[in-house]
Structure 1
Amino acid sequence: MLKAAGSFGIILLMIQPSKAAPLSFAEFNQLARECAPSVAPSTLGAIAKVESQFDPLVLHDNTTGETLHCRNHADATQSVDHRLVAGHSVDVGLMQVNSKNFANLGLTPGTAIEPCASLSAAAHLLVRHYRGGNTVESKQLALRRAISAYNTGDPTRGFANGYVRRVEVAAQQLVPPLAQSAKKSDRGEPNSEEPWNVWESYERSHSAIGADGSSAPPEAQELNDRAPSEQDQVFRTD
C-alpha cells in the first residue's frame, strides 16, 4: 500500500502544471466589469497585456530581476511574503501592483494576488491620475499621461521609456475597431463611438477626476531625468 501510494503521488506530481494558465480576454473582460467598473475593460486589458500577459499569478522581483509564474494562490502568497521579509520590491499579480503601494491601497500579499483586488487597485490609481478634458483629443492625452504616471510616477516619463506606446499597441491588438475610430474622427467622418473610451459611464457622472494639477503636453523639452518616487510606482518600469 505504501509503495502504491508513493507511486501515485509521483504521478500526480509529474502531471501537475508548472504554472497556472492566464485568463482569457473574455474572463478578464468580465472581471474588469465587475471589479473595476469605473474604467473601460479595454483600457485595463491593454495594461494587463503589457504587465502580466493576463497571468494573475505572476510576480516580478525588482530587487533580483526575477519573474516568477506561480502555480497557485498559496504558492504566490508565500513567494511574496518571503521576498518582502527580505526587503525586496515586488510587482504582484494581474496588474503588477508594486508592494510599496500595498499599504496605501489596503492590500496584503494575499489580496494583491486576487485578480479582482488587482483590477480594483489599478482602476483606483488610473482614476487618481486621470485629468480628463473637454475634447476627445484632450481626454486621450490625459489617459496617456495617467498611464505614464502609473508606470513611472511621472506624467511624461512613460512616453520617454516607451511604456505608453507599448500599451497603445496592446490596445490595438485587443480592440482594433476602437483604435481605428480615432482616424475616422480626424478625417471629419461621423464617429458613433469615442475612440478608446476609457471611462465609459463613469465620466458622465463625475465632472473632475484626481486631486493633482494637470501638466503640459509631453513635449520633448519637458521630459526630465528625475527618478520617480517608488510610492507612486504601481507598474513595472522595464
Structure 2
Amino acid sequence: MKLGEDSSLEILRTSKDNLIHKLKEKSPTWEDSDDIEINQLLDVYEKNKYVFSNSVIDTLYTIKVNDEFDCNILKERKTLNGIIILDSTELYIFQEIGEKLKVMNFKVSIKDDYSDIKIFTFNLNENEKIIAENIETEVWKKFLRCLIYLDFLPTETKYINPNEKFGTRKQGKVINKTDHKIILVTKAWNQEYKTKPNTKFYSKAHWGIRWTGSGRTTPKITFIKGSLKGLNKPAEKEIKR
C-alpha cells in the first residue's frame, strides 16, 4: 500500500474545507454546533493513523457483528478517535463527541474521478445506531470489526515515519509518502508470557470481552472477578497449525 498525495488520507486533509462546504449545502438543518462537530471529526492532524497488516485483514471477517449490535461495548474501548486506513483509496475517520461516536467512511479515486462520503453515529448513552437508509450494512459493520480488533484483541504496532516503508508483500508493505506517522497494526502472535515456577499473581477484577453465541463469534462485555493465577502462554507462532 502506497500512501501518497493521491491517497484518501492526503485528499481528506487537503480538501477538508471543501468537504465541509458540500455537507452544509446538502443539510438544510445545519447548525453552528454541527460546524464544531464536523471540524473535530475531520481534524486529521490530531488523530492516530492505523493501517492493518495482511494477517489482521484476513482475521477481520471472522468477527461477526450482528445487526442489533450492542453499542455498550464501545464504551470500554481504548481509542477515543483515530483514522483507520483500509487501503490507499478508503478510510474511516472517527471521533467521540459527547456521548456519541461519529464516524465517516471516505472513498476516493483520482484515476476514476470518484469520491463518496458516508457519515454515521453510535449513540453510546442510548445504545443505538444512527445510520441513514442509503448506507449499506457492511459499511458500518466493517468499521466495527476494525475497532473491535484494534481495541479488544492483542496487537503489536510498528510506527512508520514520513518517507519510510515497512513490511513485505506477504505481510503487507506500507510505503508512507505522507507527512504523517502511520501505525501498522499486526497480530501479537510472537509473544510468550510466563510466571516463575510455583508462583502466582493476583488478577484484579475488571471488565473484558468474552465471545459468545454459535461459534463464539458475538462479543459481550463481561465482569471478571479477581483471582490468583499462574500464566503460561506460549507464543502463537509455536502452536499455530
Q: TM-score, normalised by structure 2?
A: 0.27
Structure with the higher strand share, 1 or 2? 2
TM-score, structure 1 as length reference: 0.27
Q: Which has the higher helix share?
A: 1
